[in-house]
Every structure is written in C-alpha cells, then in structure tokens.
Amino acid sequence: MDVLKRVPIKEQEPIERIHNFDEVCFGYTPDEAVREAQRCLECKNAPCVKGCPVEVKIPEFIKLIKEKKFKESYLKILETNLLPAICGRVCPQETQCEQNCVRGIKGEPIAIGKLERFVADWFRQNCEFEFSKPQPNKRKVAIIGSGPAGLSCASSLAKMGYNVTIFEAFHKLGGVLYYGIPEFRLPKEVVEWEIENLKKMGVEFRTNMIFGKTFDLEDLKQEGFDAVFISSGAGLPNFLNIEGELLNGIYSANEFLTRINLMKAYKFPEYDTPIKLGKKVGVIGGGNVAMDAARVARRLGSEVYILYRRTEAEMPARKEEILHAKEEGIKIIELVSPVKFIGDETGHVKALELVKMQLSQPDSSGRRSVKPIDGSNFVFEADNFIVAIGQSPNPLVKKAIPDLELNPNGSIKVDENLMTNIEGVFAGGDIVTGAATVILAMGMGKKAAQSIDRYLNAKKV
C-alpha cells in the first residue's frame, strides 16, 4: 500500500448516477476505513484540528478507527461535533482540516471527512442513540429555524438541561439541509435520523411557524421563553437585476432546489409539485448551490452548462462538487457575465446574452478582479436558466423586530457573544454571516448555546 495515496472510495458511476437521485458516494467499508485511518500520523500538535471550526478531535477519533472501536470513535467526534454524518458529507474539508494535514505535504491528506462519515454511518446502522438526560434546569429557550445553526444550538442546550423548542417555517425539519442540499449529496434519511435524536434528547419541534408572521418575540415572552436564538438562514435569493429576468423558465436556485428537495418535484406526478426543464439548461454561478442545481438539472435529463464570471480555479464550490459535476458531463463556460435574457413570443426565455470577461493581474491581496471585454457580447441559447448567485438575509425577521440592529448588507448585527442589540435575543448562522457553510453555522449555534447559558446564569433566571 502506498501511504502517500488515499484508500480509494467507491462511488456510483457517472453514467448511472445521472439517472437517479441516490447518493453518489458509497462511503468506506470498515476494512477500507481502517486502512485509510492507518495512514494518520497522529501528530501531537494536530494541525488538522486547528482547521476545523468546531475542533473535532481528529487524531483521537482516527486512532479509535485503527483499533476498530467505531462506536467509541463516533462518540469521540460527538464530543465537539453534533452532526458528524452531515459534516462528513458536506464540509469543505479540503480548505479546512485536510488542508492542514501533514500527510498532504508529500502525498494526499488523510480522508478525514470520509472517515468521519464512515463512523457516523456505522453508528447509525449498528447502534441505538442513547442520551442520559441531564437534570432539567427549568429554563426555556426558543430557536427560530431548524437548519444547522439551530440544530446544533438546540443540542448543546439540551445537554445542559434546557427546555428547547425549535420553530420551523416549513412543514419539514432541517432547513437548508432539507430544502437546499440534494438527496444525492446528503440523503434526507441522514438528516431525519439526526433530528430524531434531538427529539430523544427532549427538544420540541413546531413546524409551519413563521417568525414575524405566525408568532413574534412578544408571543415567545408570553410563553415563558427566557432567551431566543435566531437562526433563520439566508433565505432571500439574489437575482441579477438584468433585463428579462421575469421571463418564464428562469428559476432562482432556491426555487429550483426547493421544488426538487422539499417538494420532490422530480417525482411528479407521484408528487404534485411540478418542475419544468428543457433540453438545455444554463446555470449562473460558481458556488456549491450552483453545482447542486446543475447536477439536479442533469439528473432531470438536461444538457447543462455552468456559466461563471471567473475561471474554475476561483470557483467557491468544493473541489469535489466541481469534479463530480464535470464527471456527470456538465460543461463549464468560464469568464462570462450575463447581460440580458432574451425571450420568445410566449414570454419564455430562449437565450442569454453574455459578455466575455478577463482576469486582471492579482492585486496586493492576491485576488484577481474581472472586467468585461468591450464588444465581446454573444448569445447563449438555452431552454432554462437557473440563477445561483447567492442569498441575502430574509427580510421577515427585520419586519418582525423593527428595533433589531442590522449590518449594511441586511444581516443581523451581533456582539462577540452572538447577542443582538436586543437583550436575550441571540443570532447565528447565515442570517449573521450571509450564505456560508454548514459547519460554520453549526459552530455558531454551539457558541450561542454557551453564551445563552452564561447570560441566563448571570441573570439568575
């Protein structure tokens, strides 16, 4: 065995997987996991841990895999990371833990994410989730939004004996984990299992509750909640604000993915929510959401092009997602920027005018800017376009709490303890950071739980 190389992981062949929504990666077998774990050098200073937003005890959980103590390994991760099966699948490890791996200097870094996923899946399939309830402390905390920040905050608080209720606007739990990330990257079964565990921990969930519409801060106060954590996400899709954006056949990535993931439109007419996609689809953007949208479109049978204003090297998407997309036959058109959509006589989009872009020399920060090349406009024909250029904070929260202080970009302003300008009201996740990663949101949820605990202890509620 070449210790410089990773133990290869089995995946569904591209030719097969473009016809289904099953998970792409099969995950390691116990034998493969142990072999991969054996490559770990167990560095004393553990640079990998420093790359992890929640400081998973990486060398320790990997050591337990070497010893085939998979259950213990899972529990070791759980000490700091509440959703290992999810993080093992969707974290950008290559820019976090794995980037710092000493093995990576000469060879391939340890597949930390895949090992994390392995123990989490092994535990789910072989063990019962056990939770010894702490002494209840009689304090009630309300969490708004059941995405990664909310779930991790709830879990931390439940462990400290809090009485926690999560309010979710949709009819399904999990926030972006449910409506945003497709089944082939994160099976809903995994999300549901994690949520079931939270229920076992005593966390209460209420669906169909829209903050600022169905209930507000005053209602929470009247119900006796001592603190509130707002983790309602970045739920407002950005559009390009160019001519023709209201033509039929143009989706925001949010709408496209919500129809698919939440409403299961890919199973129409077995499910009632429809989706319409023609032969050729253009996806605008270069992040993970753009990759998800492109790969979903591919699975619906379309020929898919990703249109990006910089080059593949600058794409914010995870390398693995870009690779998977390309393997599935998705083509990337680099250095193009949308100018206007062109419609047919029925009001349906038929093309997008693009302008070619050029990269400048790197500036002092090393970042290369782009600018349009005059007169290089051309027309790109397609049946549908999906706009995946990011999300902004949902405006409903601001409407619900008019006194809430916001940052200039509309996100909620918080102090170092994640408390907003309103006492007892904390916030975290994408509503504070703008659209970011699952793990960052989880890290904030955990931190908020600690802050809430400190705050309520000091207040002696």
Considering the rule CB under 8 A, would residue 270 count as an interface residue with other proteins? yes
Count of CB atoms within 10 A of residue 375's CB? 7
Q: Is 26 in the site for other proteins (CB under 8 A)?
A: no
Identify which of residues 151 and 176 has a Cβ nearer to other proteins in the complex: 176
Residues 98-117 that bind other proteins (CB under 8 A): none
Q: With contacts defined by CB under 8 A, name the span among 253-261, 321-329, 355-363, 402-410 that binds other proteins.
A: 253-261
Binding of residue 258 to other proteins (CB under 8 A):
yes
Residues 55-94 interacting with other proteins (rule: CB under 8 A): none
Q: Is 388 in the site for other proteins (CB under 8 A)?
A: no
108 vs 102, 111, 118, 249, CA distance in Å? 9, 8, 19, 43
The DSSP-derived string for 138-175 is --EEEEE--SHHHHHHHHHHHHTT-EEEEE-SSSSSST
What are the b/e assignments for 39-61, b being 16+ CB within 10 Å?
A: bbeeeeebebbebbbbbbbbbbb
Binding mask 161-200 toward other proteins (x if CB under 8 A, else -) reads: --------xxx-----------------------------
DSSP letters of 190-226? HHHHHHHHHHHTT-EEE-S--BTTTB-HHHHHHTT-S
> How many amino acids of this chain bind other proteins (CB under 8 A)?
42
For residue 28, the cross-strand partners are none
Q: Which residue has the tokens 């029925």?
A: 346
Applying CB under 8 A, among 3, 41, 246, 333 the residue interacting with other proteins is: 246
Q: Min. distance of Cβ 446 from other proteins in angstroms?
A: 25
Piece of 257-265, 287-295, 304-312, 435-443 that binds other proteins (CB under 8 A): 257-265
Candidates 30, 136, 224, 347: give the one binding other proteins (CB under 8 A): 347
- Report the amino acid identity of residue 309: R
Smaller CB separation from other proteins, 24 or 352:
352
Among 215, 225, 305, 308, binds other proteins (CB under 8 A): 215
Of 276, 280, 340, 356, the one binding other proteins by CB under 8 A: 276
- What residues have CB less than 8 Å from 28, skipping those under 6 apart? 7, 9, 36, 111, 114, 115, 117, 118
* Residues 315, 375: Cα–Cα separation, whole Å: 25
- Sole binder of other proteins in the list 346, 364, 365, 409 (CB under 8 A): 346
SS3 content of the chain, % helix, strand, coil (to 5): 35, 15, 45
| Binding of residue 268 to other proteins (CB under 8 A) | yes
Q: Given the rule CB under 8 A, which residues bind other proteins?
A: 169-171, 207-210, 213-215, 235-237, 239, 241, 245-246, 248-249, 251-252, 254-255, 258-259, 262-264, 267-274, 276, 346-347, 394-396
